[in-house]
Each structure stands twice: as structure tokens, then as C-alpha cells.
Amino acid sequence: MSERIRAVIFDLDGVLVDSEQVWDAARRQLAEESGGHWSESATQDMMGMSSTEWSRYMHEELGVKMPPEEISAAVVRRMERLYREHLPLIPGAHEAVERVAARWPLGLASSANRPVIEMVLELSGLGDFFETTVSSEEVAHGKPAPDVYLEAAWRLRVDPALCVAVEDSGSGILSAHVAGMRVVAIPNRTFPPSEEALNVADAEIPSLRELHQEVIDSGA
């Protein structure tokens, strides 16, 4: 085992499942069907937000008249239906997780609601590889705040400085970086992270197929 790295923490959406556009579609449809509207900045604004934060945003900024908790529940129901029809697991996800888990304990730090996390792990067969999973709805602030990564490290009982995070989005990269972790970036092709975010990543690779021990160790 590396002298410095003691755990690896994965993001979910955009890293293990190609789901950002699915979330986008589910929230957009709900907004349009519920008397609200969709703004050009809505997708970018909500990236990394916890369910509490983005449901409030949809209520206050997009004019969805349902209470935030009902907005969140309605979007989750849509996500569950779509995932049961087809889970968009990213190519190489299962192999990468299994490969990394053979060497380090794994955590998951996700902006997704807890029921969505559990469904993805069940349908993908990845659940047994993770020692802990954290939804940002279980902490005070979503990404880019560091809360979800700090909570994952705490549950793993590992100093954040000894963790490597695997992220695809700008808000996620910044979240893990502010938490004091090393960051391996796999830039999201649909919603690419900013140069500012990429500049704080410790390594950058094009896909999960390149996520090997040497890349993780290089973050140290």
C-alpha cells in the first residue's frame, strides 16, 4: 500500500454513471410541467448542489410551485424509473472500482439523493466495494463546499490529506480540493469543468480505464 494514500473516494454522477443529462432532463421536465420555467444557467447552477439546495433553487428561482421537499421526491421518482429502464453505467466503471478496491478502502461522496445512490449501487452490483457512502443531503452544504468529502473521510476514519478523490465536475474537484484531498480529474465531456477547477487537480485522465494504482499514487 502507498505510504501516503489510505483511501479513495469516488464521486457518482459523471464518474460511475453517465447521468448528469438524466438529472437535467428530469428536473427540466418537472419544472416545465409544474408551471415553472427553465433558465440557460439552471444546469450549471445546480451542479453539485445537494437535494435540499437544488429543490429550493427550483422553487425559488425556476418558479416551481411545489414545496422543495415535494420537488425533490418527484425528481427522485423520475430518476428511479429511468434507471430501472436503463442504468447508464460508464464503460470501465465496474473494472475500475474493483481494481482500486483491491488496494484501498473505498468511499462514495455524491450529490445524489440517498435513494438514488442505493439504487445505482444495487443495479450496478458495485455496492459491496464501498465501505461507506455519503449523500450531500446528509451534510450541511453540497459541493463545492467540502462537507460531503470530509464526512466520507470521517466515516472511513482516514485523514482527508491521505485520501484521493475521483471527480468529473468543477464543483466536485473544488469540493475535494478544499477538503484537503488529492484529486484525480476525469473531465465531464458534456459539462466540462472550468480551467480554474482543473488547475487544482493533482492528476487528469481521460477515462476510468486509465485509473490505475500509478495514477492514484501520483496524487501523493
Active site residues: 11
> What does the block give as the cell for 27?
428536473
DSSP letter for 89, please.
B
The rounded distance, in Å, linking the Cα atoms of 192 and 201 is 14
Percent of the chain that is helix, strand, coil (3-state, to 5):
50, 10, 40
The rounded distance, in Å, linking the Cα atoms of 19 and 73 is 18
Strand partners, 135: 110
**Element containing residue 172 per DSSP (H, E):** helix 170-178
Q: Cell match 453505467: residue?
A: 89
Tell how far CA 84 is from the center of its chain. 19
The angle at the Cα of 118, spanning 121 to 112, to the nearest 5 degrees, equals: 100
- CB-based contact 156:107 (threshold 8 Å): yes
